[in-house]
Structure 1
């Protein structure tokens, strides 16, 4: 089919590259044991209550899901002390990014985000012929002052990845306060808090505080990470009612399936397990940082469930060599950092296996 068939906005896009599946690496390289530390998934499966909910609902999978996700929305509204009309479920928080792009962006409109950062902000804008303004990070963190300077009359959306993916860094409450005091009224700010539940720091700013204070903001959350439901694709936005209404006009009717809704709902009432996983992740971050530093890498401080490290001009050779050792990490080129890798916190054993594999690759592969 001729290239002219496809609209230019789509033809020139470099698609999102997900982490390689374990089965694919085993098949291609003939390996029996493969550890995946590439996609920021939690190392644990669904909560026990979620598994029970999935089993109970299995016999009803011949029925379409509740397109309005009523029970899940009601539970989330109660949990966050917002109105039902301010909750929008989606196929992961990534799905909400797509909805926001559809409802806001015309060709020539603009979005602003830090860079390197989560690529869907850019890709979803490009699909619609919009223009992404990518502002370089400062000390691996979002430079909110520079992002304010990048806002123009056609800017519709500003994304603040909080904490940032792939660097794991975050902005202070004072920096976010100053940003919201200065951001123009015609801009909708999207605070992406996909890793919110991993953080136990009173100085970390909860995006809901800005929304409840009347700021023009959308807060993104997901069940893909600490809740162990990445395979079901379920997340949500907390947003002004008019934004939630517009999301309902552009999303597909049954984006969040029945199993995802049931598992997410059942996961909300397990504070002890949530705290346990948060604690295990904190210990894993310390372990993983130690391992990386022992091998000459210098990751910035992370508050999420992953670490970022620059290794030189091109991280693909190290990625490929670690694959042969049975460890999948993430080359960060798709995030705007071609000379870096991102490594997810695994179990203690998985982290040590990563360290052993790192010790077997040629030294030149990890030289900055």
Structure 2
């Protein structure tokens, strides 16, 4: 056996929810936080046109997409880095700060790839427990040391759906040394309706050590094409671009993302529909006695503790794919109304069975 890095022997491979793709024609896909809406005609046209050029390399600098993102947010192009989904940019961030002996601070539980990417980059993870499913930013600030190179804040948090308020974030940034990078992972921000929250996009210019990550996988419905971006200080962006894998964002993805930005109003109306469904599903669950925090993304978090694995298996048996975190909870994506109704029916049946006992 050839010698590979020792860390690989300690890592658990990422495991998608069982049955999500194997029985896609019958399984209700409520585990991966995908948009339930198919691509708009304008996006399909862009994909079709771009497909005729796949014998050529894509633009390595993603110039047209970078310009479109900059115009959308009213910023200069030198503040934007494009990558193959926000997760690829997270990997770039961690690799870019990961000198020997350095640390990354993040809340736990949060996005499950944080510890894997940190280990691969050679950083020591400092996990700060959530408080009632939400980030404890004062405790996270307390854990920053001279060895801390990066703080990750998932906002809204995956998988709990909770949101950091603007004032909390400002106080945290005031306590963070300017030499420590803070990354706001806003993959689900378009679904947020919390009045006290604000995007890091509004704060980047005043905080050179802050970067914000967004994705086209969720609200824009392009999960299968892998495109995302990071916004930050031009000096930080210049260095991060050096670390990005060249040609990582294929030409089809670039053109689809440009088209999606041009159709943003239509796409965000679909997001509004998902937000309404989120409210309907949560209200129904809470009325039936479930413990479900107010979610600000396109999913809900069910606090099930030791019953999580059993409930996850129950849903699988009903051909409903959910994301199970054994011993903690279950995350259920908001899908189309039909799939949501099937989940509500399955959850109601499970609760009746639990209440009746053996």
Structure 2 length as normaliser, TM-score? 0.94
CA contact (8 A) 1:166 1:332 kept: no
Change (3 A) 1:10 1:219: same
| Partner of residue 354, structure 1 | 343
CA contact (8 A) 2:156 2:192 kept: no
Partner Cα distance (1:143, 1:40) in 2: 24
Change (3 A) 1:45 1:12: same
Within 5 Å, give how 1:1-368 maps onto structure 2.
Answer: 1=1, 5-20=3-18, 22-25=20-23, 33-333=26-326, 338-361=327-350, 363-364=353-354
CA positional deviation for 1:365: 10
* CA deviation vs aligned residue, 1:128-148 (integer Å, no higher than 9, x gap): 221100000112110000000
RMSD: 2.0
CA contact (8 A) 1:180 1:215 kept: no
CA positional deviation for 1:20: 3.9
CA contact (8 A) 2:43 2:260 kept: yes
Partner Cα distance (2:78, 2:306) in 1: 47
Farther-moved stretch of structure 1 (282-291 vs 182-191): 282-291
Partner Cα distance (1:277, 1:204) in 2: 21
CA positional deviation for 1:202: 4.5
Partner Cα distance (1:55, 1:366) in 2: 54
CA contact (8 A) 2:194 2:296 kept: no
* CA deviation vs aligned residue, 1:195-248 (integer Å, no higher than 9, x gap): 121224543211012111134101000000011100001000001223222222
CA positional deviation for 1:183: 0.8
Partner Cα distance (2:46, 2:113) in 1: 31
CA contact (8 A) 1:110 1:155 kept: yes
Partner Cα distance (2:236, 2:13) in 1: 27
Unaligned regions of 5+ residues in structure 1, if any? 27-31
Partner Cα distance (1:184, 1:366) in 2: 55
Partner Cα distance (2:145, 2:182) in 1: 14
Partner Cα distance (2:111, 2:182) in 1: 15
CA positional deviation for 1:171: 1.0
Partner Cα distance (2:8, 2:30) in 1: 30
Change (3 A) 1:54 1:332: same
CA contact (8 A) 2:219 2:268 kept: no
CA contact (8 A) 2:105 2:151 kept: yes
Partner Cα distance (1:190, 1:208) in 2: 11
CA positional deviation for 1:361: 3.4
CA contact (8 A) 2:106 2:140 kept: yes
Change (3 A) 1:249 1:314: farther
Partner Cα distance (1:107, 1:15) in 2: 24
Partner Cα distance (2:97, 2:156) in 1: 24
CA contact (8 A) 1:318 1:365 kept: no
Partner Cα distance (2:65, 2:7) in 1: 35
Change (3 A) 1:321 1:160: same
